[in-house]
Amino acid sequence: MSIYDSLNPMQQEAVFCTEGPLLVLAGAGSGKTRVLTHRVAYLIEEKEVNPWNIMAITFTNKAAGEMRERVDKLVGFGAESIWVSTFHSSCVRILRRHIEALGYSTSFSIYDTDDQRTLMKQVFKTLDVDTKQLKERGALSAISSAKDKLIGPEEFLLNATGDFRQRRIGEIYQEYQKQLKKNNAMDFDDLIVKTVELFQNNPDVLNYYQERFKYIMVDEYQDTNLAQFKLISLLAAKYKNLCVVGDDDQSIYKFRGANIENILNFEDAFPGARVIKLEQNYRSTQNILNAANGVIRHNRGRKDKTLWTANSEGTLVHFKQFENARDEADYVARQIRDSGFSYQDQAVLYRTNAQSRLLEERCIYYNVPYRLVGGVNFYQRKEIKDILAYLRTIANGVDDLSVLRIINVPKRGIGATTMGKVTIFASEHGMSLYDALKAARQVPALGKAAAKIEAFVGQIESFKVRANSEDFTIQDLIEGILDETGYRQELEAEGEIESQTRLENIEELVNKAVSYEQDSEHPSLDEFLEQVALVADIDNMDESENRATLMTLHSAKGLEFPKVYLVGMEDGLFPSMMSITADDKSEIEEERRLCYVGITRAREELVMTSARQRMVNGETRYSKPSQFVEELPASAVEFDRLEPALSGYGGFGGGGGNAGTSGRKTDAYADDSLPWNQGGMKAQPKAEGRGFGSSHNPYASRNTAPAGSAPASKPAFGKAFTVQKQSSLDYGPGDRVSHIKFGQGTVKSVEDGAKDYEVTVEFDKAGQKKMFASFAKLKKI
């Protein structure tokens, strides 16, 4: 029996189609990884393609490792020659070999988010940027977005004509890139941008990789940005044997720069492309798939596909509504405890990080062990960053940020004043900070600090010698740093539990180094640092621990669980108020795709919940169930709604959700005219008649409508979503404003939309936010 006989007909078609551009539309749980690995095996075994000529790009290190393992099992040989890696890892490998063509040395550093922020602070200081007008985080976000679109500093400035803020960001962008190059460093976005630049300016280099990668495969293609699209287009231009696998219905990373048009317009970008749909799902029950299909078919910007399965129909999806968010969280925690599923087989998914607090509290209350995905990343912890900065200084002597981080860690009596003098000396003489430290005796007015600096340099030079010796191990190097610099001694002297935890974290870093050296054929410090820099938070989930998982919907992408709880299904929360009222309908479609992703994480059981009232920004808000709930097909869902607050009101105003209620459940509650059915409606101060203040229970009366309530035929969304557009605003771009939650900030732009003014503000502490003027209630200061 052939290994390809286990594939379904559409999977086989995707595997056997090897020549020319191919788009594989792989629905959730349709076995796309099997298709990719079998396709690689088919190329090697049946088409006799040299493994050296195959490139496979994934979005996570975990996916790359799994693909390599599966291919190795299928073909038994050659897998080690296949280029399987992430976009960033691929670019690092290429740049390490050819980066000198762009004026960098091959030992360049890769800056993570913290490194970028530190460098940006230096840039702001150099350019004397007013931090009341512009924040480092805002500038970094704008620069990252520009790099995703392959817009360099010069083009950015050209496009900023007449916009003072954009011109200022352009100047910051120029200086930021200048400082990166001076430090022989790149940020993550640069890895893609510089590789594209390398290929465009060096035809011989491009031709080498085109000849090597005659067959290219890209996973999760819906998540690619413009820069990644350009990179792949250049590599595939010669032989055109490009196979991309993805699902437009799971494109949920627009905020990170992902461009759904890459997959929607694939046939236009690659003429003659074939399209194959994988619609058979191997993960979920048919009821779960019917729910997912029912929601996603409301999107217009998609390629039509319908998921189906040979699995059982399964239990109905359960939607349950609660009086408040605490009751919702209490129910979920008890269900996790009592459901009969093991903890590790259950996940709670939510739209915003803020929703985790109540869930965590109730899990603790019921002794439910849980794992919160998206907490502080291991590699972002102070002690880990300190040791990595030592290693980077040893590996790359011109990385100023790493030197600045460790020069006085542990404390050596080398303060900011001393380093200020050294920095000036380095700038005046056009040298790196480390080289200036080596010349400390030549730096004016250092005094006794010069001897302390020389001692530090002596230690680093000693570590460099060891790092270049034949019997060198990274484990020994880390142990040496801990002991010889006094880092371990300083932590032990603190005598705190936290200090012991930090030492344990460093021990875990040592474990990582040992594991790397055992697995790598030619281990090196540079490669180890690359691996560490490229590790993603989601890759670190320990699936062996028996704990329930709490995570945002965005973090859940690519995962699956036997039982899933999708909470906070309320209009104004999911989808967000901004997406509901936005003129750009792609915003609500992105939210709907996110809901589709959440639904399709479930294998056996899916519970969806909402709360009638929820505390938001210190206020109680009344909400109706999400419009996505109303798009669920009645045949696949059991609807468990609250009793109506008032009797005698009419039926549900549309969607599939009005069916399937029984017993105590009734859709009378669904009348859009009632305040608690109007998404995002705030509790109002107590007033004449039946108000909705904190001292009055709006659910107490069952016979009389509140004063001023609308008739049952009120259109969907009701009064809560009526936007009262102002005739004009008393603030504009550049003005300082105040917001009740986010505090003070600077107006970045004001767009005159059809429904309301859309205002973008860079807040001093909360970062950049886009909001509608009528909801934001900004005050000019």
28 is in an annotated binding site: yes
Residue among 32, 351, 392, 641 flagged as catalytic: 32
Residue among 34, 320, 601, 641 flagged as catalytic: 601
33 is in an annotated binding site: yes
The length of the chain is 781
Question: Is 504 noted as a catalytic residue in this protein?
Answer: no
* Look-up of token digits 């009341």: 132
Question: Is 601 noted as a catalytic residue in this protein?
Answer: yes
301 is in an annotated binding site: no
How buried is 496 (Cβ within 10 angstroms: 0-12 exposed, 13-18 middle, 19+ buried)? exposed
Q: How far is the C-alpha of 214 from the C-alpha of 52, rounded, in Å?
A: 9
In sequence order, which residues have a C-beta less than 8 Å from that of residue 15 and are 6 or more positions away? 4, 7, 35, 38, 39, 42
534 contacts 86 by C-beta, under 8 angstroms: yes
Residue among 175, 187, 190, 219 flagged as catalytic: 219
Residue among 18, 33, 126, 666 flagged as catalytic: 33
175 contacts 122 by C-beta, under 8 angstroms: no
For strand 54-58 and strand 215-218, is the pairing parallel, antiparallel, or unpaired?
parallel
Indicate the angle between helix axes 203-212 and 188-201, nearest 10 degrees: 100
Question: Is 362 noted as a catalytic residue in this protein?
Answer: no
713 is in an annotated binding site: no
Q: How far is the C-alpha of 228 from the C-alpha of 385, rounded, in Å?
A: 29
Secondary element (H or E) of residue 61? helix 61-75
Residue 36, helix vs strand vs coil:
helix
In sequence order, which residues have a C-beta less than 8 Å from that of residue 396 and are 6 or more positions away? 107, 108, 109, 184, 185, 402
Residue among 220, 223, 386, 640 flagged as catalytic: 220
Question: Is 220 noted as a catalytic residue in this protein?
Answer: yes
Q: How far is the C-alpha of 342 from the C-alpha of 319, rounded, in Å?
A: 22
Secondary element (H or E) of residue 561? strand 561-566
321 contacts 610 by C-beta, under 8 angstroms: yes
329 is in an annotated binding site: no
Q: Largest Cα–Cα distance in the chain?
A: 89
325 is in an annotated binding site: no
419 contacts 404 by C-beta, under 8 angstroms: yes
Q: What is the DSSP string of 711-766?
A: PTTPPTTTGGG-----S--S--TT-EEEETTTEEEEEEEEEE-SSSEEEEEEETTT
31 is in an annotated binding site: yes
Measured CA angle at 402 (ends 400, 408), to 5 deg: 100
For residue 550, list its beta bridge partners.
348, 372
Q: How far is the C-alpha of 577 from the C-alpha of 595, rounded, in Å?
A: 15
Q: How far is the C-alpha of 730 from the C-alpha of 733, rounded, in Å?
A: 11
Q: What is the DSSP letter of 678?
A: S
Q: How far is the C-alpha of 779 from the C-alpha of 82, rounded, in Å?
A: 59
Q: What is the DSSP string of 75-100?
A: HSSSGGGSEEEEHHHHHHHHHHHHGG
Q: How far is the C-alpha of 646 from the C-alpha of 661, rounded, in Å?
A: 17
If we measure between CA atoms, which residue out of 28, 575, 119, 565 comes closest to residue 346? Answer: 565
Alpha helices in 80-217 (DSSP H): 87-98, 113-127, 136-148, 153-159, 164-182, 188-201, 203-212
In sequence order, which residues have a C-beta less than 8 Å from that of residue 204 and are 6 or more positions away? none
Distance of alpha carbon 148 from its chain centroid, rounded? 15
Which two three-digit tokens encode residue 356?
A: 């985790």
216 contacts 55 by C-beta, under 8 angstroms: yes
Q: How far is the C-alpha of 653 from the C-alpha of 65, rounded, in Å?
A: 50
Residue among 250, 285, 335, 627 flagged as catalytic: 250
In sequence order, which residues have a C-beta less than 8 Å from that of residue 485 and are 6 or more positions away? 390, 410, 459
For residue 770, list its beta bridge partners.
760
Annotated binding-site ranges for ATP: 26-33
* Binding-site residue set: 26-33
Instruction: Name the residues annotated as catalytic.
Output: 32-33, 219-220, 250, 601
